[in-house]
Amino acid sequence: MVHEHVPGQRGPVHHPHGPVPPPGEHTRYAATRPLTGSLAALTPYLAAAVCTLGILYNVLNGRSVDRVVLLTGGTVVLALVTRQGIMLLDNITLTQELAQKENHFRSLVQGSSDVIMIAAPSGILRYVSPAAAGVYGRPAEDLVGSELADLIHPEDLGCVVHEVRRFLAASPLEEPTTRIECRFRSGDGGWLNVESTVNRHHGGLIFNSRDVTERVRLQAQLQHNAEHDPLTDLPNRALFTKRVQQALSGRRASDRGAALRGTAVLFIDLDGFKAVNDTIGHQAGDELLVQAARRLQDAVRQGDTASRLGGDEFAALIVGDGTTRDRAARERNILELADRLRLKLSQPYVIDGNDVRVAASIGVAFAEPGLGAGELLRNADLAMYRAKAAGKGRVVLYKPQMQQDVVRKAELATRLRAALHDGEFTLLHQPVVRLADGRISSVTAQARWRSSQGVLFTPAEFLRVAEDSDRTAELGRWLIQEAVEQAAERAASGLVMPVAVRTAARRLLDRSMPLGSVEALLARHGLPSGSLIVELTDVDPRVPLDELERRLNGLRRLGVRIALDGFGTGCPAVTALRRLPLDMLRLDRGLVEGVVESARLHKITSGLLRIAGDLGLQSVAEGVDSPEQVIALREMGCTHGQGRAFSGPLDEYRLRRALASGHYPVPHGPAEPALAGGGGGVYTGGMTAVFGGGTALRSHNETPVPPT
């Protein structure tokens, strides 16, 4: 390690290669040594010269000189001559060593792959090592004398000047070096990314620089990959969230009076995308996503952000300009943009020469003061799921009530398990009536939850919570056990009546409800064959039909009858009708509601009922609420009905009274009010069941119960 002394500094400056002056620099440094140093070195010689002159003066004047003086003078002269000889030899040795070291350092500088440059305090390059030709593509001679500022990219120059000034103002002991990274002009006129270690040097600076362009390019590529979706190259969730945060914080800082005006997030989900993967393959699905991403990118404005969050979920950040002060107008503009985007994403996609169609559900949420990026994304996500629940292929604006519903649902999910163990659930039963004579043929068990605080939760609330968790299986086991036990108690009192329990097809395949447990339950309570009816409420296409068919055949061997609920609602029902062992069909409520008013629905329903009759299956119309529907369905060949035209769900006491009576009055007459345009001859009396004591009993106002 070689030390250089810099005037005005309190210590030496260390450089890993020692000082690296250009050729001839040592000569100029030696010429600047203080003159006093040379005079001090001559002082002993002056003393010897004075002594010798004194002796000679006395000898020339004939005076005698003491021998001691002569001996002393001679000794001094001899010593000085000896010292001078030794110093001469030392100087020759030091000169040789210095030349060797200078050649060594020169070789290091000239052979280094890094570029070493010395800049004067004025910023002029005084020395550039030969490596500049290989690194910068410019000979070192061309760079010497250049202004350093002219070689640095204009966008980086300000930062470089600031760092150099800060470095020179700092203490050399505390900060001997600094590191600077900037873009440097190359010989072909382009820009290289250069990293430099900077040292002080006689008021100027020494730059030890290397080309890091490839490293910077690799880092930029890695950063891009970390923030972009690899399939569509759109910003991913992390970058999108960062952009949302920047939009929110920027608006707060720049315009507090009109905070976040018009800024919104669109959360987008492609409806039916999974079917594309399942039917024509994942490669086609990827191509569809790429085309959808391109459409989304083209639809947003410059300055907005389109993103793929994952799977078939996309998002768009629309940054408001704050010019529209009317909130209603802002919402209208964004919703119109969202609807145009929905239509654009719903246009056919050409994949392998075929048209593929998917729809788009879009949730829209506006930024509000105090709202964070995560909350804004959550709001848009909630609105998107509300759009899917409302029928898909639509745009829904977020409302605060949506978040309240989520909180309520989470609370219900937490309380549901305890409610099952605390006995807060109870069963109601709704009669199924034979349309020919009004006799009750079976009852359908329906769960109700009344909390310990007396709050009655509708089935639409707690069953949706159960569907989203593992509590479904536990609730299903409780429902079938309770229904069988109550049916056995009624049978013991002489009121034998089959009970129907609704369940999703996939639940029959759960290990939590083995076939043996159903057999043991029926045997324990001694119910005869046909006393239990299992209604399949959802034949999901993902359910393996072969396994489901084996399961249903096992139940039928136990005397359990099988019904298909929601018949007429789609292709899965037709597949189930073709593959599964069934005893009865339950007609979907949507068909029954319009069977009188709509000639089209009348024909569809009539056709479905003919299919049931041809297959020898019982047919049960659900949601029969008017006498006209009773008459129309009976004439079409429907055998049974269930609905408020007869009775709503009943508690145990009222159910026993209904079973004791055994039947309900049914209307008779032609079904012609809406279909034929006339109203005469139609039964219009109230559908009231009369039980003992002349008491008229109408079912209490219950909403129809969704399947469990």
For the cut 60, the answer to whether the pLDDT of residue 685 exceeds it is no
CB 417 within 8 A of CB 477: no
**pLDDT band (50, 70, 90) for residue 250:** low
Which residues pair with residue 440 across a beta bridge? 433
Pick from 631, 537, 625, 544: nearest CA to 585:
537
Q: Tell me the backbone φ, ψ of residue 700, rounded to 5 degrees.
A: -70, 160
Tens-place pLDDT, residues 68-99: 666 777 777 777 778 778 888 888 888 877 77
Give the model's pLDDT for residue 678.
35
**pLDDT band (50, 70, 90) for residue 109:** low
Query: What would the mean pLDDT of 650-669 be, rounded to a whole number?
Result: 89
Amino acid residing at 191: W
Q: Look at the pTM and tell me if it is higher than 0.75.
A: no
CB 377 within 8 A of CB 403: no
**pLDDT band (50, 70, 90) for residue 466:** low
Among 390-399, 476-485, 663-672, the range scoring the smallest mean pLDDT is 663-672
Query: What would the mean pLDDT of 206-233 be, rounded to a whole number?
Result: 92
Query: What would the mean pLDDT of 331-350 be, rounded to a whole number?
Result: 92
Tokens of 185: 């002009």
Cβ of 570: how many Cβ atoms within 10 Å? 12
Tens-place pLDDT, residues 118-172: 999 888 999 888 888 888 888 888 899 989 999 999 999 999 999 999 998 998 8
Q: Give the SS3 label for residue 547.
A: helix
For the cut 70, the answer to whether the pLDDT of residue 336 exceeds it is yes
Q: In what order do the strands lie in the sheet with 115-119?
A: 125-128, 115-119, 204-211, 191-201, 177-185
3-state secondary structure 172-214: CCCCCEEEEEEEEECCCCCEEEEEEEEEEECCEEEEEEEECHH
Could you tell me which residues come within 8 angstroms of residue 202 by beta carbon, excluding any fewer than 6 positions away?
Answer: 6, 7
Among 268-282, 564-578, 634-648, 679-693, the range scoring the smallest mean pLDDT is 679-693
Amino acid residing at 241: T
For the cut 80, the answer to whether the pLDDT of residue 37 exceeds it is no
Residue 469, by phi and psi: left (phi above 0), alpha (psi -120 to 50) or beta?
Answer: beta
Tens-place pLDDT, residues 600-613: 888 888 988 998 88
For the cut 80, the answer to whether the pLDDT of residue 197 exceeds it is yes
Strand 456-457 versus strand 425-434 pairing type: unpaired
Pick from 54, 57, 100: nearest CA to 77:
54
Give the model's pLDDT for residue 237.
94
Give the separation between CA 445 and CA 570, rounded to whole angstroms: 25
Note the residue count of the chain: 708
Which helix (H) or strand (E) is 549 found in, with range? helix 545-557
| Mean pLDDT, the chain, integer | 79
**pLDDT band (50, 70, 90) for residue 107:** low
The rounded percent of the chain whose pLDDT value lies above 70 is 78
Tokens of 561: 């009858």
Tokens 């199924």 belong to which residue? 432
Cβ of 454: how many Cβ atoms within 10 Å? 6
Task: Say which DSSP state 302 is in.
Answer: B
Give the separation between CA 312 and CA 318, rounded to whole angstroms: 20
Pick 232-398's CATH classification: 3.30.300.30, 3.30.70.270, 3.30.9.60, 3.40.50.1110: 3.30.70.270
**pLDDT band (50, 70, 90) for residue 323:** low
Domain with residues 418-697, CATH architecture:
Alpha-Beta Barrel (3.20)
Give the model's pLDDT for residue 692.
29
Give the model's pLDDT for residue 7.
37
**pLDDT band (50, 70, 90) for residue 477:** confident
For the cut 90, the answer to whether the pLDDT of residue 194 exceeds it is yes
- Helix H segments across 255-326? 273-280, 282-299
Pick 115-217's CATH classification: 3.40.1160.10, 3.30.450.20, 3.40.50.280, 3.40.50.10540: 3.30.450.20
Among 13-27, 382-396, 674-688, the range scoring the smallest mean pLDDT is 674-688
Q: Higher model confidence: residue 364 or residue 53?
A: 364
Give the separation between CA 642 and CA 479, rounded to whole angstroms: 20
**pLDDT band (50, 70, 90) for residue 173:** confident
Among 36-40, 102-106, 703-707, the range scoring the smallest mean pLDDT is 703-707
Tens-place pLDDT, residues 433-453: 999 999 999 999 988 888 777
Give the model's pLDDT for residue 65.
62
**pLDDT band (50, 70, 90) for residue 112:** low
Give the model's pLDDT for residue 341.
94
Positive or negative, the CA dihedral 406, 410, 411, 412 is positive
Among 306-310, 413-417, 568-572, the range scoring the smallest mean pLDDT is 568-572
For the cut 50, the answer to whether the pLDDT of residue 190 exceeds it is yes
CB 535 within 8 A of CB 567: no
Give the model's pLDDT for residue 456.
77
**pLDDT band (50, 70, 90) for residue 257:** very low
